[in-house]
A and B are shown apart, each in its own frame.
Chain A
Amino acid sequence: MQDLEIVGQVIAGDIANILVREKSGKKLELGDLLVAEEGDSRLLILKVYGLVYGSQVPQLAREMASGLKLEGLGAGLDYFEPHLRNYVIAEVKAIAQVINNKARIPKSLPTFFSAIRHIKKEDLAFLTKPDNPIFFGNVRSGSKVLDVPVFLNGSDVFTHHVLIPATTGRGKSNLVKVLLWNALGSGGKFGILVLDPHDEYYGRHGKGLKDHPSAKQDLVYFSTTPVKAANTLVINLQSIKPWYFDGIVRFTDAQNDAIDQYYNAFNDTWIENVIRDTPLPNGVTIAPRTLGVLRRKFDSVLGIYLDDADQLQCRSKIFSDNSGETTMQDIINSLEAGKIVVIDTSRLLDQAELLIGSIIVGDIFSRYQKYKSDGRLNDKPVISIVIEEAPRVLGTNVLESSGDNIYNTIAREGRKFKVGLTAITQLTSVIPKTVLTNINTKIILGNEMSVERRAVMDSASQDLSDEDRTIASLDKGEAIISSSFVKFAIPIQIPLIDEIIAEDNEPQNSPKRRVVG
């Protein structure tokens, strides 16, 4: 190791907390990746998770020295050799041991007093590009970005679910855009459904997924107010089965009973007949009050009602009794063809958005279950459902009060059928641990709420118990990938989508650097 490279030296500690004295002027940062060389082809990768002051000068003497300065009595006085006597001690932890370019979980301490340097690109040569690669960002050491792209196997990652926990303004949307951008043009490997409550991914008003070179073939956009070449989001009421409401809309036993009676009697037109108050055959009667409440619920959730001319109307124009017959098929077929389907739900109420998701997800899940039983699943692309504000369907309260829903079912069983969730949330703590532990990849962005950080750390695939301050200090676009598909929690810098779009649309560039395949 060259003298110039040295940034510190191991001076004490234990396996969980190695103390490194910082070389003066080197300014180590939280999250910095450091290296202790252990001989030929062996090195330990260390991560800084704490920084404290150290001093050879006793506390009382420092207080007095400070007093002299502050009170104007220290003219001409200063610390002699301040770089030797006052310094910073970094608390670090070994996160990987690399032997002959292979990473493994470290089980030993670096040599006592060994010199420490910053990590270099060559040290991370073991981070190779897997099959079905999805680009997440570049390895980050503190706030320094290395020229080391991080790819994970998209098939593994998406089927085993992804959690993106962060508070507002830490780069969630940009991250999702980057993931979707890189999944586009996968050659049909990933079908991703995006329920987009802010209509921000397609790029209606600016740059977005529509600008991807493969968008024409592989991107499908549905909206109630479609732009040119987009699809109108109209769902025929006959597509809606009673069980799609499970866990989304709460019904009483009497209401559920009424729904069953109408579905049995009228099959796919059951909703229309509830709205029209059509009498049930065979003298079966439903209390008028129950039916009245059901109609009000359908009005508030779906926005449907009868107008003065006795015609069925939908306030949001999304649900219809006479159009949109092929919408669900179109969406599901697109997903099955490995396309990205973005559904603009910005004009929908919460429950309507979730219901639409529930309809699509329920159908695709049923199809994939069938493919598995038919032995055809291997030929199908991986499906991922991007769901914003995930606690709306995966929150403890929701699951306890409304029971299971299709999202929860996928969280538990989806991986067997190549269907996964990409859940985005600010409130990880309200998602049950049983669900969180099933989510094998977490892309952790900054979060100032300690309860939320704790929930993420407790369910991470690696031991992140010392990363609390690091996660709190993550700046916009900085993230940590904790996944069962990586050897250690990798700090990354997620590039800005606008830069990627600009770069990939330069005539001489193809987007192959970041895209799959």
Chain B
Amino acid sequence: MLPDLTRITADLIRDLDEKINELALGEPHFSNVLRKYPFKKENFRPVLQERAIEGHTTSKLAFIDGGNGEILGAPNFSIQFNRICYCLFKGKERIQKSKDTIDRIEFLSCTYSSFRNKEIYYDTITYPLSSTFQNLLPSESDLSFDSSDRSIMDGRERADIRRVASIARRFAEWSFAAYVAQKELEKSDAIVMDGTLHAAFTHESAYAKKLYEATTEAGITVTGVAKTSRLFTDTGLSLIGAVQKFAEDCKLAFGSWYLPIAEVADMDHQAMIFVTKLNQQAKHVFRYEIQRDQHNALTLKEIDNIFFMLAENSRDITFAGYPFGCAVADSYGRVSEHDLEYYRALVMGEAGKQGNWPKFSRHIQSVDAHEILNSLVGL
């Protein structure tokens, strides 16, 4: 007998509706923060127009983003192609980079496993595609991880080597941001990182710290926009969804706003967390973070100015409310399958030339059955 799909899906939706109870939005849920800001209508602050911001300065925003992809992989090694880019904007206008500034760094990395001290370790060697990138890449000693390091583990599972392989790119993003700040930015400008300012991996906070120190000295603010957020309220709702609902309920008089959520002061995460709607036509609101110490040193007008600059950059009609610079940096930094194919051919060719391919392929075979099945069904 065929299942009654209509009834089953109706039950499913009804149950989910019951479980998501928006009547009780709750408050932001954080286990370890310095300060939480309860949902209050008066906490919403409008994104002001420049004329409303006393002492407004048109500052630059530098957007940093990167990507990486696996060229060849096995459980015991992962060869990756990494790319990190930036772009500069002043409001909606793109600013040309200085002539002598590197606009991207690209490098190959090889993460491999080894057994020492009765444990599996992952180590990574980096190979810059230009010698000018060398100083911007993380130290290889910082890219050595015990596979049972909690910062890289997935629950109780040993970390997947591909996750570890992406850490080199993440560290390089911090270094590159510091480089861009030094070469391109000046006082009252801001950096917009892709994602949060959480330096989650072991050794990562050292790279973040270098950036914070360099920028604080220069009067530059480090921020981050997260495309996704997995934060919750203490009633189990998604934080982003709850803020949107709360904003609707408040019937705000302004179309674009920002709302402080929490101040975090961990060793590895020092941030003032906001949720912001950057355009009144926007369907999305985003988690936005400003480095905590830098935030605390800013006046309200300076904070208003940062949100104004960000909102000005978020008026692109194809994705209203999302900073255009983030989209540009994402497209520049993105690693395509086309890129990977190119490097794959080079790497495999060289492996064949050196007679190593049979050895590598034995290990690759332990994870490529899925791909073979995909190819059999035409995927």
Contact = CB atoms under 8 A, between A and B. Distances in A.
Interface of A: 57, 61-62, 64-65, 68-69, 73-81
Contacts of A81: 94, 324
Interface string B321-355: 00010000000000000000000000000000000
B94 A77 contact: no
Given A80-B92, A81-B94, A61 B319 contact: yes
A61 B281 CA distance: 14
A78 B40 CA distance: 33
Interface of B: 92, 94, 279, 281, 315-320, 324
Given A80-B92, A81-B94, A68 B319 contact: no
Contact of B281 (A57, A73, A80): A73
Interface of chain B: mostly helix, strand, loop or mixed: mixed
A77 B319 CA distance: 9
Nearest to A69: B317
Given A65-B317, A65-B318, A69-B317, A77 B281 contact: yes
**Residue among B315, B316, B318, B324 facing the most chain A CB atoms (10 A cut-off):** B318
Given A77-B279, A77-B281, A68 B317 contact: yes
A74 B281 CA distance: 7
A78 B315 contact: yes
Nearest to B319: A61
**Residue of A57, A77, A78, A80 with highest tally of chain B CB at under 10 A:** A80
18 contacts: A61-B318, A61-B319, A62-B318, A64-B318, A65-B318, A68-B281, A68-B317, A73-B281, A74-B281, A74-B317, A76-B279, A77-B281, A77-B315, A77-B317, A79-B318, A80-B315, A80-B316, A81-B94
A306 to B, nearest CB: 86
Contacts of A62: 318
Contacts, number: 37
A74 B280 CA distance: 10
Given A80-B92, A80-B324, A81-B94, A57 B318 contact: yes
Given A57-B318, A65-B317, 9 more contacts: A61-B319, A68-B317, A73-B281, A75-B281, A77-B279, A79-B317, A79-B318, A80-B315, A81-B324
A81 to B, nearest CB: 6
Contacts of B316: 77-80
Contacts of A57: 318
B136 to A, nearest CB: 27
Contacts of B319: 61
A64 B318 CA distance: 7
Nearest to B313: A80
Nearest to A67: B317
A62 B316 CA distance: 11
A483 to B, nearest CB: 46
Nearest to B318: A61
Contacts of B94: 81
A74 B320 CA distance: 9
Nearest to B311: A76
Nearest to B325: A80
Most buried by A among B279, B316, B317: B317
Contacts of A73: 281
Contacts of A75: 281
Contacts of B281: 68, 73-77
Contacts of B279: 76-77
A79 B315 CA distance: 8
A64 B281 CA distance: 12
B277 to A, nearest CB: 14
A55 to B, nearest CB: 10
B47 to A, nearest CB: 12
Nearest to A68: B317
6 closest pairs, A vs B, by CB?
Answer: A65-B317, A77-B317, A80-B316, A61-B318, A80-B324, A57-B318
A81 B324 CA distance: 10
B315 A76 contact: yes
A395 to B, nearest CB: 56
B320 A77 contact: yes
B240 to A, nearest CB: 21
Contacts of B320: 68, 77
A61 to B, nearest CB: 4
Nearest to A84: B94
Contacts of A61: 318-319
Contacts of B317: 65, 68-69, 74, 77-79
A74 B279 CA distance: 11
A64 B317 CA distance: 9
A434 B318 CA distance: 57
Contacts of B92: 78, 80
A65 B281 CA distance: 11
B114 to A, nearest CB: 44
A71 to B, nearest CB: 11
A300 to B, nearest CB: 72
A68 B282 CA distance: 11
Contacts of B315: 76-78, 80
A87 to B, nearest CB: 15
Nearest to B91: A80
A81 B313 CA distance: 11
| Most chain B CB within a 10 A radius of its CB, from A57, A69, A75, A76 | A76
Nearest to A77: B317
B297 to A, nearest CB: 31
A79 B324 CA distance: 10
Contacts of A65: 317-318
Nearest to B327: A80
B128 to A, nearest CB: 26
Contacts of B324: 80-81
A262 to B, nearest CB: 84
Contacts of A64: 318
A166 B92 CA distance: 51
A75 to B, nearest CB: 8
